[in-house]
Amino acid sequence: MKWRGRKRSSHIEDRRGQRRGGGGFGGGGGMPRLRMPRSGGARGGGLGIVGLIILLVVGMALGVDPSQLLNGTLSTGPAPRQAPSSGPVATDDMTKFVGVVVQETEDLWTEVFSQNGLTYDPPTVVIFSGQTRSGGCGVANASTGPFYCPGDRKVYIDLDFYETLRRRFGAPGDFAQAYVLAHEIGHHVQQLTGVLPEFNAARPRLSTEEANAWSVKVELQADCYAGIWAAFAGQENLLERGDIDEALNAASQIGDDSLQKQAQGFAVPKTFTHGTSAQRKRWFEKGYSSANVGACDTFSAARL
């Protein structure tokens, strides 16, 4: 991805250098199966990109009809083919890289919202190291992976996760890293369109299985939105050869079936919360090839 020298978002909160977690959280970033709700007060959960079960969050009803967003289109062409894809972004450059990706998501979603007569209010992206407290979704730490917290409308990311993505999940490359961010920002878009608040409001009356099925639709829509962002990045001439493959590979590597087979040797579909590898790739691709939020309606799709 050709990101150097691009404008960076001002909505980045760098919490590195603050107190580190008291043991047990260091290093490479793990892969939790489940994150328990906090008791008392606002119970919250993050919407992590990998296998994190979405927990109860009382979303804010914004009165925005999701269907209002279904008409935005972006014209886009195929990815340019001139330069080889770069590797993962070095740690020193990571904050800048995140800033550029987030800025590009802001440009995209500001445009799409505006096309629909709406205003895009961007989330803050918190970069942390060790652990940090989120607003309503408990403590974020290296083992949770990146997630979006509807309670404070912030995306949390420990940059060590990118090393995990590369080494443990076999998803190297800067565009794999960008995809992860674009997916989490996609959850913020869902918060603004009412998709997330509706899900969170419904959760108490859903069985686990029903909630999982609903979660998969939410997650695949966020993958589709990440694909739209990739199309936008192409339009902005940021793509290098191999970038889209990096994102597709990442989407595939963190599919529920792949993760479960890796962890326990077999997959249990009714426990899926994010979708299979094939589904995640398909919905990213749908967003990328259509560049149209209307193509991301996982809720009325006959087939996921």
Which residues form the interface with Zn ion (CB under 5 A)?
47, 49, 219, 222
User: Measured over all CA atoms, what is the biggest interatomic distance in the chain, rounded to whole angstroms?
Assistant: 55
Instruction: Rank residues 79 and 147 by Cβ distance to Zn ion and give the closer one.
Output: 147
Q: How far is the CB of 154 from Zn ion (least distance, A)?
A: 14
**Which of 127, 131, 146, 138 is CA-nearest to residue 57?**
138
Using CA atoms, how far apart are residues 145 and 158, in angstroms rounded to an integer? Answer: 7
* Residue 291: both structure tokens together: 């560049």
Instruction: Rank residues 174 and 219 by Cβ distance to Zn ion and give the closer one.
Output: 219
Instruction: Rank residues 219 and 257 by Cβ distance to Zn ion and give the closer one.
Output: 219
Instruction: Rank residues 96 and 304 by Cβ distance to Zn ion and give the closer one.
Output: 304
Instruction: Rank residues 76 and 260 by Cβ distance to Zn ion and give the closer one.
Output: 260
Report helix angle 243-253 to 277-290, nearest 10.
Answer: 150
Contact 215, 54 (CB under 8 A): yes
Instruction: Rank residues 49 and 126 by Cβ distance to Zn ion and give the closer one.
Output: 49
Enumerate the β-bridge partners of residue 139: 133
Using CA atoms, how far apart are residues 55 and 59, in angstroms rounded to an integer? Answer: 11
Q: How far is the CB of 172 from Zn ion (least distance, A)?
A: 20
Q: How far is the CB of 293 from Zn ion (least distance, A)?
A: 17
Using CA atoms, how far apart are residues 209 and 217, in angstroms rounded to an integer? Answer: 13
Report helix angle 208-235 to 91-115, nearest 10.
Answer: 90
Q: How far is the CB of 267 from Zn ion (least distance, A)?
A: 18
Q: How far is the CB of 148 from Zn ion (least distance, A)?
A: 7
Q: Which residue is nearest to Zn ion (CB)?
A: 47
Enumerate the β-bridge partners of residue 241: 84
Q: How far is the CB of 183 from Zn ion (least distance, A)?
A: 6
